[in-house]
């Protein structure tokens, strides 16, 4: 990563923290993932070079920019205003050509994806939706692909049912990395 991009991301994260501290409603916050989680996501992607990457939950583009430093990706968010902020940030970071940005419900994008379309999925949307999204998530994840889910330690109770379903699904291996808010890595076996 260039020093300029690293400085841009540091500034974006600091601004996000300040902004979030002023919002009483959780849903109004940007809720960027922690820099150490973002760095891990970037390294993981850099190492495995997935051909197709989907992010569910763009927010203002912080995690998107980290990933776009090493891969082309598609990112989805259903909040039009936050997506406009993301578009501006992607442009300012110089990665707009590497990102297909979609403003839509993640459920629709998953439903419209063909079987095994995505080699790598970063799931960072509304945790209460994940259980309902699971059948499409597992259908659209490619064999040999990875699903990464944030906040599995910070909000363990909210993802407990989702994790239980994953654990009961054949053909998957998963582990939790105690980094940032806790990253669940699910590998779909070939
Ligand atoms: C935790 S934030 C994402 C943070 C972002 N990944 C980052 O680290 O910078 C969650 C985002 O998911 C979006 N979201 C919530 N429900 C959604 C849905 N049904 N479809 C798509 N996006 C959704 C919210 O608008 C919000 O911007």
Question: Ligand 1: distance of its center to the CA of 115 in Å?
Answer: 23
> Domain limits at 138?
33-188
> What is the atom index within ligand 1 of the atom nearest the CA of 60?
9
E strands, 98-162, in order: 99-103, 118-123, 141-149
Question: Ligand 1: distance of its center to the CA of 64 in Å?
Answer: 11
Please indicate, yes or no, if residue 59 is contained in any of the structural domains.
Answer: yes
Q: What's the token pair of residue 143? A: 């064999």
Long-range contacts, 78-84 (Cβ 8 Å, 24+): 78/103, 78/104, 78/105, 78/106, 79/103, 82/30, 82/58, 83/58
Q: Report the distance separating Cα 102 and Cα 131, nearest Å.
A: 22
**ipTM confidence:** 0.99
The label of the residue with tokens 């309902």 reads 132
pLDDT in tens, 155-180: 999 999 999 999 999 999 999 999 99
Low-confidence ranges of the chain (pLDDT < 70): none
Please indicate, yes or no, if residue 73 is contained in any of the structural domains.
Answer: yes
Please indicate, yes or no, if residue 8 is contained in any of the structural domains.
Answer: no
Domain count, the chain: 1
Please indicate, yes or no, if residue 74 is contained in any of the structural domains.
Answer: yes
């Amino acid at each position: 990563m260039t020093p300029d991009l690293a400085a841009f991301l540091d500034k974006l994260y600091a601004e996000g923290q300040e902004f979030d501290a002023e919002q009483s409603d959780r849903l109004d916050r940007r809720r960027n993932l922690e820099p150490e989680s973002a760095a891990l996501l970037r390294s993981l992607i850099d190492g495995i070079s997935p051909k197709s990457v989907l992010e569910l939950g763009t927010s203002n583009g912080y995690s998107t920019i980290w990933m776009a430093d090493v891969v082309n990706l598609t990112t989805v968010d259903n909040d039009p205003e936050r997506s406009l902020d993301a578009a501006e940030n992607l442009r300012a970071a110089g990665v707009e050509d590497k990102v297909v940005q979609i403003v839509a419900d993640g459920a629709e994008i998953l439903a419209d994806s063909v079987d095994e379309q995505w080699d790598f999925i970063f799931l960072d949307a509304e945790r209460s939706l994940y259980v309902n999204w699971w059948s499409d998530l597992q259908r659209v994840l490619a064999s040999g692909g990875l699903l990464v889910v944030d906040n599995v330690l910070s909000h363990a109770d909210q993802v407990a049912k989702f994790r239980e379903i994953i654990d009961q699904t054949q053909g998957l291996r998963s582990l939790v990395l105690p980094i940032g808010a806790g990253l669940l890595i699910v590998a779909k076996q070939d």
